[in-house]
Structure 1
Amino acid sequence: MIKNILLVGLGGFIGSTLRYVTYLFIDKRFELTFPLSTFTVNIIGSFLLGIIMSLAAKDLLNEPMRLLLAVGICGSFTTFSTFALENLNLLSGKEVFTSFLYIAASVVLGIGAAFAGQLIVK
């Protein structure tokens, strides 16, 4: 049990660090109203989670690796709370169209990315 907790913690460190690097790479370079870095990590994370869970379902990934990759890395790389706050800020700033575009694109592309991840494993 301690090993699994440490694996999730290690994955959390890696995923949150990757999310921050993505923020530095995207949002610090481009001044956009659209929250591109959060959108990017959520779509990539959905794609990776689709791959990881499909591999696990086929018994091609053991439980410790699933915990490291899915719960740790993907869990901390993606972020729904930031997504919610960014939409609240967009709506408060009267950026209604941008907010709805962000919500719709995140949901549709996130599900599509997870599906694509599954297809790659099949």
Structure 2
Amino acid sequence: MNWLIVITGAMIGAPLRYLTDRTVQSGHDSLFPWGTFTVNVTGCLVLGLLTGAVTAGAASSGVQLFIGTGLCGALTTYSTFSYETLRLAEDGARFYAAANVTASVVAGLGAAFTGATLARAVWG
């Protein structure tokens, strides 16, 4: 039955990723993949909040499966991040490739930490 919870979350996360990516990217005239960056950092923030909530007992394992595995699993995308970084490097935009890696890792970890800290403040 857990697989239905994950599928339901993914059914929301996948279109949300696509729509967010297209909306954000259309607002920027840049080689930098702002859409993918946005969904990945947002996903890290949500996962940080969720982890803190689960640790504090404020969220169930079902919520963790729905939001963490399903929604965030479909919302965030390491494969697209990798592909876009490789494409930037191959196209000669090495600065943007390096900036994508650096900014994504730093912002993603920062967002996850912020989410977990926020969760501790609310439910701790």
Counterpart CA distance in 1 for 2:22 and 2:94 is: 26
Matched, 1:110 2:108: yes
Partner of 1:76: 74
Partner of 1:8: 6
Task: Report if the CA contact (8 A) 2:40-2:76 is conserved.
Answer: yes
What is the letter of the counterpart of residue 109 of structure 1? Answer: A
- The structural deviation recorded for 1:32 is 1.6
| Contiguous gaps of at least 5 residues in structure 1 | none
When normalised by structure 2's length, the TM-score is: 0.93
Aligned residues: 120
Output one character per residue of 1:71-120: Cα deviation in whole Å (capped at 9) or x when no partner.
00011100000000001100110111110001000000100000000111
Counterpart CA distance in 2 for 1:100 and 1:29 is: 22
Counterpart CA distance in 1 for 2:5 and 2:29 is: 36
Q: How does 1:1-122 map to 2 (within 5 A)?
A: 2=1, 4-122=2-120
| Contiguous gaps of at least 5 residues in structure 2 | none
Deviates more, 1:25-34 or 1:7-16: 25-34
Taking only aligned residues, the RMSD between alpha carbons, in angstroms, comes to 0.9
Task: Report if the CA contact (8 A) 2:21-2:38 is conserved.
Answer: no
When normalised by structure 1's length, the TM-score is: 0.95
